[in-house]
Chains A and B, each alone.
Chain A
Amino acid sequence: MSLIKIFKEGLWKNNAVFKQVLGMCPALAVTTSAINGIAMGLASTAVLICSNIVVSIVKDYIPSKVRIPAYIVIIASFVTVIDLVMNAYLHDIHKVLGLFIPLIVVNCMILGRAESFASKNSVVKSIFDGIGIGLGFTFALFILGSVREILGNGSILGFTVTGEWFKPAIVMILPPGAFIALGFIMFAINYIEDRRKIKNAPKEHCSVG
């Protein structure tokens, strides 16, 4: 499998939020605005890349019985690093994301990649997998955050985009809005992918015929 393909699969085909439904807690909790979604996504990506690298280096030395606790300790160390770095240099964003920074430890996406990819593949491949999956996660959080910010606040990344006539629906920024927005985004993805399949189907038929 080529490196580009690994990267692409992580970005869309195995998208953590939309396809695998992993890492839902931060995805729903911090996406009250697009910028929060990006920040959370990038923090998780950094942890994911680091943990993928270390797991793929030490994979041969860890007895398989204790591998899960070992992975959790590796992930927790990097989360602590990110937590302290963000607190020092990005204090405002750290305050907004709050509890969900230490909770990156229990983001099943990261443990899932350690278990299903990094523990079986080389370091270089694991780095590309980490970048792909991580950016896919960031992308999903950005989409969810944008939808909620536009509907709930009439702006995106802090810039107002809707006219005077638009009355923001505050509920979209509140907790119920997260569930509803994600439900409709998943509906849209199902619909688009199905349409694409229908469009491509007759073409294949012709080429065979």
Chain B
Amino acid sequence: MTGLILIFISAVLVNNFVLSRFLGICPFFGVSKQLETAIGMSMAVTFVMTVAGIVTWIIQYTVLNPFGLIYLQTIVFILVIAALVQLVEMVIEKTSPGLYASLGIFLPLITTNCAILGAALLNIQLQYTFIQMLVFTIGSSIGFGLALILFAGIRERVDLSDVPKYFRGLPVAFITAGILALAFMGFSGLVK
């Protein structure tokens, strides 16, 4: 049990996906201009990441490993994720049009979010069991959401302040992210 808690805390805070592992940087800068869209994006990512983690883990241990097809890992995983994103899009469109309208634009973007493929590959690389994999994936997606929402909140404030001319836009966003990453480094003593 302590092992699972450690995996969870490490995934959320210490090895935060965005700020320490550099996965999912594109949406991190792309959709963090407003708090609302940031929340929508992190919800979509949480869902796809968890389902993709489960499916790819099962495929790895029931198909790829027994048949010696490990070299197909990258291709199979990205296809699973692409198909899954399409499926999720269709299901959400049918069952809850409200959620679909608010997530709509972000769903197709998730295919090329390296956090999803990164999490799927890390699960295998770190040789997690099924339960550990589940905890790690959920923790990672919460960490992603946490960083994204915190950053969106800061960015809304930065937009209102008087930034020097040449720092406006992306440069100041990167430096802000750097300071946020610095703050997250404070957690590094939590898990050894």
Binding site for B on A (CB under 8 A): 21-22, 24-26, 28-29, 68-69, 72-73, 76-77, 79-80, 83-84, 99, 102-103, 105-108, 111, 171, 174-180, 182-184, 186-187, 190-191, 194
Contact = CB atoms under 8 A, between A and B. Distances in A.
Contact of B112 (A102, A108, A179): A108
Interface stretch (B31-39, B59-67, B175-183): B175-183
B132 interface: no
A187 B22 contact: no
Contacts of A107: 114
A165 to B, nearest CB: 25
Nearest to B188: A174
A68 B19 CA distance: 29
B149 interface: no
Contact of A183 (B79, B121, B172): B172
A186 B128 CA distance: 39
Given A25-B24, A69-B82, A108-B26, A183 B118 contact: no
Contacts, number: 115
A111 B122 CA distance: 23
Q: Is the interface of B mostly helix, strand, loop or mixed?
A: helix
B178 A179 contact: yes
A84 B73 CA distance: 12
B25 interface: yes
Contacts of B174: 179-180, 182-183, 186
A22 to B, nearest CB: 8
Given A73-B75, A177-B178, 15 more contacts: A24-B25, A29-B22, A68-B111, A73-B78, A76-B74, A99-B121, A106-B114, A176-B185, A178-B22, A180-B174, A183-B172, A183-B173, A184-B175, A186-B170, A190-B171
Given A105-B74, A186-B174, A25 B82 contact: no
A180 B175 contact: yes
Interface residues of B, number: 40
A29 B177 CA distance: 14
A73 B71 CA distance: 14
A173 B178 CA distance: 12
Contacts of A29: 21-22
B78 A99 contact: no
Contact of A179 (B82, B118, B175): B175
Of B111, B178, B179, chain A has the most CB atoms within 10 Å of the CB of B178
Query: What are the 9 A-B residue pairs with the smallest beta carbon separation, nearest first?
Result: A183-B174, A179-B178, A29-B22, A180-B178, A183-B175, A176-B181, A24-B25, A176-B182, A187-B171
B171 to A, nearest CB: 4
